Amino acid sequence: MEPINDDYKNIPGWGMDADPENEPTYPIKNYTGDDHNRINYERSPQQLQTVEILKSIERPSLSVVFGTTVPPSGLSGMIRRYAFKHSEDRYRHWLPLIMADRINVCEGVISDVLHGHFPNMIKERGWAVEWKYNRARFVKKIGIATLIAAGVAALVCKTVNDR
Amino acid sequence: MLAMNYRGPYRVRTVQKPMPEILHPEDAIVRVTRSCICGSDLHLYHGLVPDTRVGSTFGHEFTGIVEEVGPMVQNLKVGDHVLVPFNIACGKCNFCKQGLFGNCHESNPMATAVGGIFGYSHTAGGYDGGQAEYVRVPYADVGPTVIPPDMDPDDAVLLTDVVPTGYQAAEMGGIKEGDTVVIFGAGPIGIMAARCAWFFGPSRVIIIDHIDYRLEFAKNYAKCEAYNFKSMEDPVLFMKKTTDWYGADVCIDCVGCEAEGNTLQTFSGRVALMQAGAVTALQWAINSVKKGGIVSIVGVYGPPFNLLAIGNVMNKGITIRTNQASVKRLLPKLIDHVQSGRLKPSELITHRIPMEEISDAYRMFSSKLDNCIKTVLIPPSAKA
């Protein structure tokens, strides 16, 4: 996009106080002025797209390379596709992604079971090392979790019985 | 090949996955020799980073042997032992050309706010990471660096993230001779930031955390003052008092979104997920630094937003400096520091765990068990 005022260099005083030493990003950024060329730089050949990639709508095309692991699928994939219709500025982008992550966990358990693999939750959560190195706190945590679960169960039972 | 596999918050296991393939002419395939669990991996492990998909393999700190290279790779050859920076950088975009290798524009199509990072969710590009026997490494001519033959491989693997991030945290602080530097967080990055701060000539380096064994480690390794904020009524007031009621010259946040120390922040950020994590450490940094001081942030915060005292930033005239570490930019200097013996990063490693025991390794690091500071995973193919 061209500047609206293409005669800006004739504005009185234009550039007279510019101080090239005032570069707070140095040395993290070695300013070259290339930023003004925007995305018009030499790119490597484009990686071929072989799986579905959800692209940010804040860029015009895929980056030259990208990861191909775990393409979107199932209900979580549908939610992710919705999220990627919105910019990274929007809650409509991030909150659905967080929800999709939680649904994806359930999908993972279902997929495991359908493939004949019953996930070993105790092993996957590394509880053996908690038991070995942190037994008192671990027992306390399990106790609190059990109490909360029992309380919720009792509340549900009472509500059902009252009806 | 064996690879770490994310199954949900606090649940990981190892599985057999297909071997990675060359997908771009500038790719390489690397056989992993060492891989670390980073403190920022815990944000993924705890389910706090959006678009972390079940089935992903984490790991952005690794070294390995080059097994295969794409047709356009010129600087690496099969058999090279390389350390691989955590950021994936093309070397050609305007950001890379200006040294911002952590902000590459050609490595992540899924978000514009962050460059590509190995094994760090689809928000960071959807790449499988290095907690596996083999990994695909894009732009093999740019990031991967051949490990000098006289360098300890344990030192090398920490040059992929911990050392550059800690160093850049101090560098961004603009530390002047005689300054007082306060570092929040005594994890591996905080400890390294405290050690690296001395390269810039301060008179005091103070580290704050709530875990005594880590504070003790930091005091010995980084030769700094170490304080437990749980022993203070008000950490900010303590900082003011200990700096003659002036404030620290530089404060560095090495904690990020899983900070402890403020009930409201912890509940809203880590339990209810009403904000992108607890911002307690950064709040303390802003309120502990002097007027006109500098706050450097390398702690990781996720999208979409945090509740922060931004008004104090303006009123105090604070300069905030922050970025992902630009590993490639810093490597020549840091390799020199390591080779000269000024830095010995491998002393941070407290646990070496076979990759097959990945779920125990994550739990141990996450729960800070057995005085764990830094965990290195050894893949089965690296033991031979």
Closest partner CB to A94 (pick from B12, B304, B323): B304
| pLDDT band, residue A21 (cuts 50/70/90) | confident
What digits encode the pLDDT tens for the residues B33-65?
A: 999 999 999 999 999 999 999 999 999 999 999
Contact A125 B100 (CB under 8 A): no
Contact B109 A34 (CB under 8 A): no
Closest partner CB to B128 (pick from A69, A95, A120): A69
Chain A residues whose CB is inside 8 A of the B98 CB are 29-32, 34-35
Closest partner CB to A126 (pick from B52, B90, B362): B362
Q: How many CB pairs under 8 A join A and B?
A: 206
Distance, CA of B380 to CA of B384 (rounded, Å): 7
Please write down the HEC assignment for all residues of chain B.
Answer: CEEEEEEECCEEEEEECCCCCCCCCCCEEEEEEEEEECCCHHHHHCCCCCCCCCCCCCCCCEEEEEEEECCCCCCCCCCCEEEECCEECCCCCHHHHCCCHHHCCCCCCCCCCCCEECCCCHHHCCCCCCCECEEEECCCCCCCEECCCCCCHHHHHHCCCHHHHHHHHHHHCCCCCCCEEEEECCCHHHHHHHHHHHHHCCCEEEEEECCHHHHHHHHHHHCCEEEEHHHCCCHHHHHHHHCCCCCEEEEEECCCCECCCCHHHHHHHHHCCCCCCECHHHHHHHHHEEEEEEEEECCCCCCCCCCCCHHHHHHHCCEEEECCCCHHHHHHHHHHHHHCCCCCHHHHEEEEEEHHHHHHHHHHHHCCCCCCCEEEEECHHHHC
What digits encode the pLDDT tens for the residues A41-76?
A: 999 999 999 999 999 999 999 999 999 999 999 999
Closest residue, chain B, to A102 (C-alpha): B8
Phi first, then psi: what are they for A105, rounded to 5°? -65, -45
CA dihedral in degrees (A108, A113, A114, A115; nearest 10)? 90
Distance, CA of B154 to CA of B32 (rounded, Å): 13
Chain B residues whose CB is inside 8 A of the A120 CB are 13
Contact A31 B98 (CB under 8 A): yes
pLDDT surpassing 70 at residue A133: yes
Rg over alpha carbons for chain A, rounded to the nearest Å, is 27
For chain A, give every domain's residue range: 7-119, 120-163
Instruction: For chain B, say whether A118 makes contact (Cβ under 8 Å).
Output: no
Query: For the range B239-244, what are the long-range contacts, defined as Cβ-Cβ under 8 Å and sequence gap of 24 or more?
Result: B239/B182, B239/B206, B239/B284, B239/B288, B240/B288, B242/B206, B243/B180, B243/B290
pLDDT surpassing 60 at residue B139: yes
pLDDT score at A3: 61
Token couple for B309:
């005292």
What digits encode the pLDDT tens for the residues B314-325?
A: 999 999 999 999
What digits encode the pLDDT tens for the residues B283-293?
A: 999 999 999 99
Q: Are B319 and A24 in contact (CB under 8 A)?
A: yes
> Could you tell me the CA-to-CA distances from B268 to A92, A148, B137, B188, B279 in Å, in that order?
19, 20, 38, 26, 10
**Of B252, B291, B281, nearest in space to B174 by CA:** B252
What is the percentage of chain B residues whose pLDDT exceeds 90? 94
Q: DSSP label at A85?
A: T
pLDDT score at A19: 85
> Could you tell me the CA-to-CA distances from A156 to A142, A145, A148 in Å, in that order?
21, 17, 12
pLDDT score at A163: 78
**Of B347, B205, B364, B97, nearest in space to A128 by CA:** B364
Distance, CA of B261 to CA of B354 (rounded, Å): 34
Mean pLDDT of chain B: 96
User: What's the pTM?
Assistant: 0.94
**Of B70, B72, B84, B87, nearest in space to B31 by CA:** B84
Higher per-residue pLDDT: A87 or B270: A87
pLDDT score at B50: 95
Tokens 């120390």 correspond to: B261
Give the minimum alpha-carbon distance from B50 to chain A in angstroms, rounded to a whole number: 5
Closest residue, chain A, to B326 (C-alpha): A28
Chain B residues whose CB is inside 8 A of the A34 CB are 94, 97-98
Closest partner CB to B98 (pick from A34, A48, A62): A34
| pLDDT band, residue B304 (cuts 50/70/90) | confident
| pLDDT band, residue B357 (cuts 50/70/90) | very high
Chain A residues 23-82 with a CB less than 8 Å from chain B = 24, 27-32, 34-35, 37-39, 41-45, 47-48, 50, 53-56, 58-59, 61-70, 72, 76, 80
pLDDT score at B383: 64
Distance, CA of B384 to CA of B378 (rounded, Å): 11
Which residue of B106, B273, B322, B365 to mutate against A (max A Cβ within 10 Å)? B106
Closest residue, chain B, to A24 (C-alpha): B321
Chain B residues whose CB is inside 8 A of the A69 CB are 53, 55-57, 126-128
pLDDT surpassing 60 at residue B384: no
pLDDT surpassing 90 at residue A33: no
Give the minimum alpha-carbon distance from B332 to chain A in angstroms, rounded to a whole number: 14
Instruction: State how far Cα A57 lies from the chain centre.
Output: 15
Distance, CA of B193 to CA of B215 (rounded, Å): 13
| pLDDT band, residue B173 (cuts 50/70/90) | very high
Chain A residues whose CB is inside 8 A of the B99 CB are 27-30
Distance, CA of A31 to CA of A26 (rounded, Å): 7
pLDDT score at B274: 84
Chain B residues whose CB is inside 8 A of the A66 CB are 107-110, 116, 125-127
- Beta pairing partners, B295: B251, B320
| pLDDT band, residue A160 (cuts 50/70/90) | confident
Cis previous bond, A71, omega within 30: no
Closest residue, chain B, to A43 (C-alpha): B92
